[in-house]
Amino acid sequence: MEKFTKLNTSAVPLPIENIDTDQIIPARFLKATDRKGFGDNAFRDWRFDKDGSLKPDFPLNDTKFSGPILVAGNNFGCGSSREHAAWALTGYGFKAVVSSFFADIFKGNALNNGLLPVQVSPAFLKAIFSEIENDPKTDIEIDLDSQVITILSTGKQESFDINPYKKTCLQNGYDDIDYLVNLKDTIETFEVSKNN
């Protein structure tokens, strides 16, 4: 997994609530046996018409918006456990998603792929949306070390939570498998005691 470094960039707004993982990556694209290529089909049915032409009014297709930060409405990533949703977003080029609420499984999948879910208050989310509406090039800074997100044009800031263990993993590019494999003896001892 790649290390997460500080972001200071413009963002893409997606002010829709309850975006489910079926929208992020529709089921018909889940037939691959590797992790590559999902970015091409991220938000497939919102980005493209049935004939394959781009829908110009969808924010990801709107050239005035750019950047590796996705800012989305409340309850982002609900529904299916498909990690393909996280692969689609990282494959598309996103490094962080900002929302006022994330679904559990998506949040875990994102963290396991170096994609940072930044949960902010509903008021702060609204402030980001309105700043981007005023100026699509508004820069947002996401600092994992200090756990602070800043709208640079206004200086408005908010701190965000992240589990300290997960923070260390992101900062160093570690994943849970490394940790668990090293715990093998403890796990074997647990199995023996559980079976007795």
Instruction: State in angstroms the smallest separation of the CB of 26 from other proteins.
Output: 6
Owner of token pair 């990533």 = 77
Distant-in-sequence contacts of 43-48, Cβ < 8 A, 24+ apart: 43/88
Q: Is 196 in the site for other proteins (CB under 8 A)?
A: no
Contact stretch for other proteins (CB under 8 A) within 6-14, 54-62, 143-151, 175-183: 175-183
Q: Which of 27, 146, 154, 171 binds other proteins (CB under 8 A)?
A: 27
Instruction: State in angstroms the smallest separation of the CB of 5 from other proteins.
Output: 21
Q: Is 33 in the site for other proteins (CB under 8 A)?
A: yes
The one-letter amino acid code at 156 reads: K
Q: Which of 10, 11, 14, 23 binds other proteins (CB under 8 A)?
A: 23
Q: Is 80 in the site for other proteins (CB under 8 A)?
A: yes
Q: Is 140 in the site for other proteins (CB under 8 A)?
A: no
Instruction: State in angstroms the smallest separation of the CB of 129 from other proteins.
Output: 11
The one-letter amino acid code at 195 reads: N
Could you give the dihedral angle defined by the CA atoms of residues 38, 43, 47 and 50, in that order, rounded to the nearest 10 degrees?
Answer: 80
Could you give the dihedral angle defined by the CA atoms of residues 98, 102, 106 and 112, in that order, rounded to the nearest 10 degrees?
Answer: 60
How many other CB atoms are found less than 10 A from the CB of residue 161? 9
Report the first-to-last Cα separation within the chain, whole angstroms: 38
Q: Is 39 in the site for other proteins (CB under 8 A)?
A: no
Instruction: State in angstroms the smallest separation of the CB of 31 from other proteins.
Output: 4
Q: Is 41 in the site for other proteins (CB under 8 A)?
A: no
